[in-house]
Chain A
Amino acid sequence: MPELKLDCPTAPNDTGAYRIAWTVPEGATVTLTEDGAKIYEGPDAATTVSGRREGTYEYALAVADAKASCTVQVAPPSMGLTFALFLVGFAISASTIAFVVRGHRQHRRGEIG
């Protein structure tokens, strides 16, 4: 029976995009399922999953009669933190743009050296 090793991210993932890799005998065809639905079948040794929303996802790898499984937790930052940082980002960007535009006008008018 082939020895299977399935590597999933152990820490909670915050983007919903992550890589799952596995080790199987060379040339073997593997089947990878996510919560019971097939997401890959073929000879590759890894896949990248993306676009996953908050939740826990269970992955199962099968080669012939051998099986391995793991789980990935997707935990995005809170919406409170998200919008706070969004507003801070907007404020810093707008301030920087306004500062340079104002400086440029002063430069063109000869008000600064």
Chain B
Amino acid sequence: MRTLDASTGWIVLAFFSVAWVFLGWLWGKRANSFDDRMLAGRNVGLALGMATAMATWITSNTTMAAPQLAYQLGVWGMVGYSLGAVGLILFAPMAERIKHLMPNGYTSGDFVRTRFGRPAWFVFLLISFFYGLGWLVSMGMAGGVLLNALTGIEYHVGMIVITVVCVGYTLLGGLHAVIGTDYIQSVVILIGLIVAAIAVYTQVGIGEIFTTLETERVGLLDMLAPASIMFLFNNLLFGLGEIFHSNVWWSRALALREGVGFKAYFLAGVAWLPVPVVAGSIALAAPALGLNIPALDMVGPMVIGNLLGTTGAVLILVIVFCSLASSLDSLLAATADLLVEDVYRGLIAPTASSAQLERASRMIIVALGVLAIALCWGRVTTLAEMIQFTGAFVGATIWPIAAGLYWEKTNPNGAVAGMVLGIVAGLTAYFTVGFYTAALAGAGVSMVCVVVSTLVAPRAFDWSEMQRLRAPEATS
């Protein structure tokens, strides 16, 4: 498959790269303090809040792995993927609670350290860092794979360019730039997906797609396919785990203006719900088109490229570049925040000034970019497999976080045991049953640990301790 020449690919890439970096520089000028840079002044409104949540959740995973899962697991694959919206919707009340509990906090790590103590904090940081790297690698790989397939630009070159552009504008603009570009990117992604879906259903037709699947790939329509059935709730729990623990979502909850968090996350979840179904259904047209799909993760781009030719190839390049950028920038900023606040300020330099923290943040963003490039260098697995592997880790964080926010007597040791044993159970399920059970097993074991330990040995907690979290100027 190659429907664009390399020079067209470079032009599209250059246009969007310059636009994002310019906007990053422009919006970065608004950041006059550490709070401004990390949390956009804690004053983000509803429209930007909703758009940044939705755009960040529409990752390259959604636009490329949703078609892959539809092609692999059938109708349940795309429906199961869309259950990821439950994560955003259920985080809506949690965003309100987070803002209420720690109005001056910075990261999810701040919460876990204050709520459960250092052992839980260390385990949580390891999970967050591992998950963050997994997500970074999956997106870096997606960028390289896509550019190579559409334009012939060499995998390593494409992967490096996309990562460097995102590092560049995140460095320049902080969370202001991330949220601002997310708004534009969400509009571009939605328009692109609607155009692609209209092209598929007007040129191929739902009847022809169904008839071909029924004769050639009947398993994709099977409502009782075991792997697909197991995937449904696994993916729902995977989404909950990703969102509940990740600082990407906590930093937005803290950056949103008072009273906005609930509405922004709820509306973003509802708006996101149909996106994987639209993206996934595109893949189901591949058999009707007689397309040979050499690699599972390229099925979406190949169908659109086949139907719309050069226009389709440009369209998919723009859609995936925007979805990559909107997630990569968020992840770089949020992971850097977590490392600066929790590791640098928390362990190395507790009295660091705002200027020192900003310097550290910039260095960490660059280091994360370099690390992502290094880990993406060998294309070791498919996107969906890479993502689902982290399910064992994030599933184990659901109950420690939810109980920590709402259950005063949650036992901190139970939270640690829940995370550690949940990971062990998730990985065991991943390797012995299948990728579609990792998050489910992790969440289940973690839930039992947290609930049983708290019922057996409840521990009181003073919620007002959360209010003591302060900006660096106040503590240095």
Chain A interface residues (CB < 8 Å from chain B): 14-17, 19, 21, 40, 42, 44-48, 50-53, 76-79, 81-83, 85-86, 88-90, 92-93, 95-97, 99-104, 106-107, 112-113
Contact = CB atoms under 8 A, between A and B. Distances in A.
Contacts of B184: none
Nearest to A77: B226
B86 A97 contact: yes
Contacts of A50: 71-72, 74, 217, 219-220
Contact of A47 (B73, B234, B293, B437): B293
Contacts, number: 146
Given A76-B227, A77-B433, A100 B93 contact: yes
A44 B298 CA distance: 14
A81 B216 CA distance: 27
Interface residues of B, number: 56
Interface string B410-451: 000000000000000000000001100100100110010000
B296 interface: yes
Interface in B46-100: 71-74, 86, 90, 93-94, 96-97, 100
B447 A96 contact: yes
Given A47-B294, A89-B233, A113-B463, A103 B226 contact: no
B43 to A, nearest CB: 22
Nearest to B461: A113
Interface in B86-116: 86, 90, 93-94, 96-97, 100-101
20 contacts: A17-B73, A42-B292, A46-B295, A51-B74, A51-B213, A51-B217, A51-B222, A53-B218, A76-B226, A77-B226, A83-B229, A86-B230, A89-B230, A92-B233, A96-B90, A96-B240, A102-B406, A103-B93, A103-B406, A107-B93
The 10 closest A-B pairs by CB, nearest first: A89-B233, A51-B217, A103-B406, A113-B463, A104-B93, A51-B219, A51-B220, A82-B226, A17-B72, A46-B294
Interface in B210-251: 213, 216-222, 224-227, 229-230, 232-234, 236-237, 240
Contacts of A90: 233
Given A50-B217, A113-B464, A100 B94 contact: yes
A14 B233 contact: no
A87 B193 CA distance: 34
B405 interface: yes
A112 B50 CA distance: 27
B402 interface: yes
B294 A48 contact: yes
Contacts of B221: 51
Interface string B303-328: 00000000000000000000000000
B169 interface: no
A104 B408 CA distance: 13
Contacts of A82: 226, 229-230
B219 A16 contact: yes
Contacts of B437: 85
Contacts of B233: 86, 89-90, 92-93
B388 to A, nearest CB: 12
Contacts of B217: 50-52
Contacts of A76: 225-227
Q: Give the one of A42, A48, A83, A95 with max B CB within 10 A.
A: A48
A77 B232 contact: no
